[in-house]
Amino acid sequence: MIHYTSEFDPATGEPPMPSAAEPSRPQFQWTIARKVGGLSAVLIFFTLLLLIYSIVTLYRMQGEIGEISRLDLPLTELTNQMEIAHLERQIAMDMLLRLARGELPANPQHTPLQETHKRLQRYSATLNERLSVAATIAQAGYATPSKVSFMAIHQALQEMDSVARKQAERFAAMADDIEAGRPLNVELLAKVEDQETALDHTLERLIDRVESFTERDVTLLSAHESDFLWVNAILGASAVVLGGILTGLVIISIRSNIFRITRHVSDVTQAIVENRPIPAAPLSVNSSDEIGHLAERLSHLVDNLSSNFQKRDELSRHLKKVATTDALTGAFNRVKWDEDQKLAMERARRGHDALSVIMLDIDHFKSVNDTYGHDVGDAVLVETVKRTQQAIRQIDSFYRTGGEEFIILAPSTDLDQARILADKIRLTMADTPFETVGAVTISLGCAQFDRDGDDDVEKLLKRADQALYRAKEGGRNQVCA
C-alpha cells in the first residue's frame, strides 16, 4: 500500500510557506494606503502653504488698508477741505482788497468791507482748524512704515501753518483800520498779497505730497494684488503638477506590479495546462506595499506548487517504470511489450521500414532451478538480461514475457540483420561461463514483420516461436529464422 503525506496545512487549507525562504520585511512598508496618504499629504501641504500665504498677505493688506482708511483718507479729505477753504478765503481776500482800493463802486449789492473782513476771518479760522487736524493725523503716521512720507506731509503742513500765522498777524493789523473806517495802508496790502501768494505755493506743495502719497497707496495695493494672484497661481499650478506626477507614479507602479503578477500567473497557468515545468524564474516585484506582499506570497505558492508538480512527475515516472519494468531483471515487461509492438508496427507500415522480433529462451533453465535453487535461477535471469542489453543496439528493446522467455523488438532490421544480432547475443551468453552454474546457453528464433500484407502481432510471434522451436529441436544454443 502506498501512503501519501499531505503538504497542506489542515487549519488553513493552504500550502505551508517555508520560513527560511521568506525574506525579512523592513519595519516600514510603503503600503498603497501610505502612498495615497503621502500624495494627499503633499497636496494638503501645498494647500496649507497657499492658505497661509493668503492669510499673511491678506493680513498685511488689511493693515495697509487700515492705515489708509485711518490716516491717508482722512488726510486726503482734510487737504481737499483746506483747498476749498483756501479758495473761499482767496475770494474773500480779493473782494476785501478791491473794496479797500475802491475798485468796486458803492452798490447795495456789494458786501461792505466789515462783512467781507468777517468772512475772511471765518475762512481763515476754518483753514487753521483743518491744518491743526491734518498735522495731528500726520504725526500719528510716524508710527507706521510710511513714516518718511508722513514726515514730509507734516513738514508741508508746518510751513503752511507758519505762512497762515504771518498772514493772520497782517489781518489783525488791518482789522483796526477796517473797524475805524480808515483807509488801508498800501504797503500792508502789498505784503498781504505777497503772503497770500506764498500761502498758495505752500498749499500746492502740500497737495502734491498728499497726492503722491495717495498714488503710492494705489501702487502698493496693486502690487500686493498682483503678487497675491501670481503666488496663488504658482502654488496652485505646482500642486496640480506635483500631484499629477505623484499620482502618475503611484498608478504606474501599481499597474506595473499587477501586470508582472498577472503575467507570472498566466505563465504558470499555461505551463500547468500544457503539462510543462512551471517557470522557476522568481516573481520580481520591487514593492513593499500590499501588492509586493501578495507577489511574495504568490512566489512562495508557485515554488511549492512547482515542487509538488516535480514530485508528482517523479512519482508518475516511477509508477510508469514499475508498471512497465520487470521487477527482478529490469527488462521491460509484457505490458510495455503490448504498448510498443503496436506503435512499432504502425511506424513500419507508415514508413515502409523493416521490423523484426527475436524470441529468446534459456536452455535447460528448469534443471538450473531444480539443481541450484530459485535464487541461483534468478541470478541467471538477471545476468542473461544484463548481457543481452549490452549486446543489443540502442534502438532495440528487450522484454521479459515469461519465466525464462524473452522478446527483442528490433526496428529498422530485416530478417538477415535480426539473425546476425541474435547470433551476437548467443555468443555473448555461450562464451562467458556464469558463476555457480558454469556455461549457460540460449536458443533464439527470428521473424520479420510483413508490412505489406495482412500480418499482425500474433502471426509474427507465431513465426518467431516456430523458429525458436526449431532451434530447440536442432540441439539448442543456435539461431533459427
Whether residue 17 is contained in a domain is answered as no
Which of these ranges, 119-123, 158-162, 255-259, 404-408, has the smallest mean pLDDT? Answer: 119-123
Q: What are 49's three cell numbers?
A: 502653504
Residue 16 domain-assigned (yes or no): no
Regarding whether 125 and 43 lie in a shared domain, the answer is yes
Residues 260, 123 share a domain: yes
Q: How confident is the model at residue 275 (pLDDT cuts 50, 70, 90)?
A: confident
C-alpha cell at 354: 523493416
Q: Copy the grid coordinates of residue 182.
A: 480808515
Q: Is the pLDDT of residue 106 over 60?
A: no
Shared-domain flag, residues 298 and 308: yes
- Residue ending a domain, choose from 323, 345, 380: 323
341 and 452 in a common domain? yes
Q: What is the pLDDT of residues 162-179, one digit of tens each?
A: 877 777 777 777 766 666
| End residue of a domain, out of 323, 356, 390 | 323
My answer on whether 225 and 363 are in the same domain is no
Strand pairing partners for 402? none
Q: Does residue 198 form part of some domain?
A: yes
Final residue in a domain of this structure, among 281, 308, 323:
323
Does the model's pTM come out above 0.75?
Answer: no
Does some domain include residue 9?
Answer: no
Residue with cell 516600514: 28
Residue 164 is assigned to a structural domain of this protein:
yes
pLDDT at 1: 36
269: left (phi over 0), alpha (psi -120 to 50) or beta: alpha
Position 220, amino acid: L
Inform me whether the pLDDT recorded for 335 exceeds 80: yes
In this structure, the answer to whether residues 403 and 452 fall within a common structural domain is: yes
| pLDDT greater at residue 393 or residue 114 | 393
Query: Same structural domain for residues 364 and 467?
Result: yes
**pLDDT attached to residue 286:** 64
With a cut of 80, say whether residue 259 has pLDDT above it: no
Residue 70 confidence (pLDDT):
66
**Does 11 map to a domain?**
no
Query: Residue 300's domain spans which residues?
Result: 29-323
22 within some domain: no
Based on the structure, what is the number of domains in the chain?
2
Residues 6+ apart with CB under 8 A from 299: 282, 283
pLDDT tens for 338-392 read: 999 999 999 998 888 899 999 999 999 999 998 999 999 999 999 999 999 999 9
pLDDT at 266: 80
| Mean pLDDT value across residues 58-84 | 72
The H-assigned helical ranges of 325-439 are: 334-351, 365-372, 374-391, 415-431
Cα–Cα distance for residue pair 15/311, rounded to 1 Å = 15
On whether residue 107 sits in a domain, the answer given is: yes
Q: Are residues 74 and 132 in the same domain?
A: yes
- More reliable by pLDDT, 284 or 416: 416
Which range is most confident: 3-7, 75-79, 120-124, 366-370? 366-370
**Same domain, yes or no: 245 and 304:** yes
pLDDT in tens, 186-197: 777 777 777 778
Give the domain CATH number at 369.
3.30.70.270
CA dist., res. 45 & res. 33, Å (int):
18
- Going by C-alpha positions, the residue among 278, 252, 250 that lies closest to residue 264 is 278
30 — pLDDT class (breaks 50, 70, 90): low
Grid coordinates representing 146 are 510710511
- C-alpha 411/C-alpha 408 separation (Å) is 10
- Residues that are catalytic: 404
**Shared-domain flag, residues 366 and 393:** yes
Q: In the predicted model, what is the mean pLDDT of residues 388-411? A: 92
Both 253 and 353 in one domain: the answer is: no
- Same domain (yes/no): 361, 227: no
Buried b (16+ CB within 10 A) or exposed e, 3-17: eeeeeeeeeeeebee
Q: Would you place residue 408 in the very low, low, confident or very high pLDDT band (cuts 50, 70, 90)?
A: very high
